[in-house]
Amino acid sequence: MAITFTKLGHCTLPATRTIEGYSARDGRAHGELDRVVRACDAHVETARTEWLAGLTPYAVTHTGNRSVCGQLTDFTDNGTDDAA
């Protein structure tokens, strides 16, 4: 399994949220962590509906590092091919 790091969108504001994207597995909506994206307050909904499309999102408050909006970590084998 390769881990892919990329940047989505053009926003460079500091991230205030980390949104995890899970695919269903074994009948559970939060079965497997596929992607993690950082977003500013203005792009939380974009992250949930576009950047993590098809996944179950779970948002947590983002503190303690220097991530910017749109930073994506992809844990799937297909990388960011289907990330908008």
pLDDT at residue 26 greater than cutoff 80: no
**Average pLDDT of 67-73?**
95
pTM of the model: 0.81
DSSP-derived secondary structure for 2-62? --EEEE-SS--SBP-EEEEEEEEETTEEEEEEEEEEEE-GGGHHHIIIIITTTSEEEEEE-
Under 8 Å between Cβ of 80 and 3: no
**Any idea where the domains of the chain sit in the sequence?**
4-74
pLDDT tens string 33-58: 999 999 999 999 999 999 999 999 99
